[in-house]
Amino acid sequence: MTFYWDWLVSILIYLVALAITLQYALRHDFEKEWTDRHYEYEVYRGLIAEGWKYVVKRGVEVVPSCLTILFSPYLIYLLIRCNPLTLFKVFPCFCYSLMPTFTYLIARQFLDIPYSIIASALLLSSFFFLYYPDTGRVGAAQGFLSVMLYAIFTGHPVIASIFAVLVVLSHYGTAYLIMFAMIGAWVFLFLKDSHSVDFHCFSVALSVIISGNLIWHNLIMTSGKVCNKFIKQSFTFEELASGEPSSILPGLPDCAPRSTSKLSNFFKLEYRDRAIQVAFGKTLQCMNIPQKIELVLSWAIVLSLSAGFVFIIYRLGLSAYTAMVCGMFLTIIVAVIIPHISAWYGFIRIYFTALIVLAPCFAIGIDKLAGIAHLNGYVLGASLVILYALCVSGIMHRIFGIDKRQLQSARLSPVASAEIITHTHQTTQDR
């Protein structure tokens, strides 16, 4: 009976995730923006117009290396001849929606259904899902990654290997990120028992990831050179011009300098991703009330997650799952310590990817903390996730008369941000 409930809940989570991503993908006009999705669509249109001749003509660039997100909708278009733009918009959603679904199934390995739903809901309430779900190649890679990790944890090396290949062919950044996290996890497993089933399944998947990155992203395409250069700069403290910093709290002033070229800058908070600056109070004086609420809730989630991490290591010992949790935690810590990683790749993207295995730790942490405080864990966990979702989605901002999307699109300076917040406060008082 539990088996059927799991399948029913999994399907419902997938449909909810699909609804969230589809409504944004169909409304978002990326053709007018010079974003990653614009470049992906440019290659996709070239494929439809000229076939593989177009890819050969463009050469071994970064975007064509993300084969899954380009070639799959192209093949579907050849088969059914539907609207190519609509097909391109909706295809990643079907891959991306696998992420919360398999997070639920991973949590079900050691949690009951309500807590597993809370773990999946935490991921669904995150920035990338509620506020910017149209991530194209990154979203597809994260969806395939969740299936790969579930296959590893349940002892299916063949399925894990297939989806490891799909991760490599979907996005070079995600493939490199999970490679380093898995190497750390593999070391933990090796030190415990190199003859266990967990270790062998893990080793097979890791071998495929490493081989795929080497062959596809370095020998065939040039996308690996971008990652290799970044890795070198991260550990030699060479200058790195960062792109637009990501943030869990859109509308805050961009305090991050554009390069981290000196060792002395290594220890300065302002040389890290804006999300890290926000988390440690760098922009506290510029924040409005909803942003402060979101900051408090974010720290409550992180603390609950950390408590769950400690307990699950104590309760389960070292397995494929707990080793991967350790690997992801280690990756997050390294991203906070080394400025280049958060500035170049984006800390929120790393944290969001890690939630595939860390979200169940949040549910466990809530359960234990609720027990200590003599509270209902289900109610506490659901309340925390709902409040966080209200902040991330911008509904909480609307309550205070603030348009979160306006703050995001305006890329406000500290002065402009203060003016909008002051105007909003005065308007609220007038009412």
Q: How would you write 31-86 as a 3-class SS string?
A: HHCCCHHHHHHHHHHHHHHHCHHHHHHHCCCCHHHCHHHHHHHHHHHHHHCCCHHH
Q: Which amino acid is at 168?
A: V
Q: d(Cα 426, Cα 418) in Å, to the nearest integer?
A: 12
Please give the chain's pLDDT, 431 residues, in tens. Answer: 677 888 999 999 999 999 989 888 888 777 666 677 888 888 888 888 887 777 766 665 667 778 888 889 999 999 988 889 999 989 999 999 999 999 999 999 989 999 999 999 999 998 888 766 667 888 999 999 999 999 999 999 999 999 999 999 998 889 999 999 999 999 988 888 777 878 899 999 999 999 999 998 888 877 666 666 666 666 555 554 433 434 344 444 444 444 445 556 667 777 777 888 888 888 888 888 888 999 999 999 999 999 999 998 888 777 889 999 999 999 999 988 888 787 778 888 899 999 999 999 999 999 999 999 999 999 999 999 999 999 988 889 888 888 776 655 544 333 333 344 444 444 444 44
* Cβ 311 vs Cβ 394: under 8 Å: no
Query: 42-63 b/e with 16+ CB inside 10 Å = b?
Result: ebbbbbeeeeeebbeeeeeebb
Output the pTM of the full model: 0.86
**Number of other residues whose CB lies within 10 A of the CB of residue 210:** 16
Is 311:385 a contact under the CB 8 Å cutoff?
no
Q: Which of 347, 354, 342, 351 is nearest to 266 (CA)?
A: 342
List, in order, residues 6 or more apart from 233 with CB less than 8 Å away: 239, 240, 340
Rounded to whole angstroms, how far apart are CA atoms 12 and 130?
17
What one-letter code names the amino acid at 33? E
Q: How far apart are CA 318 and CA 407, in angstroms?
A: 44
* CA–CA gap between residue 207 and residue 218 (Å, rounded): 16
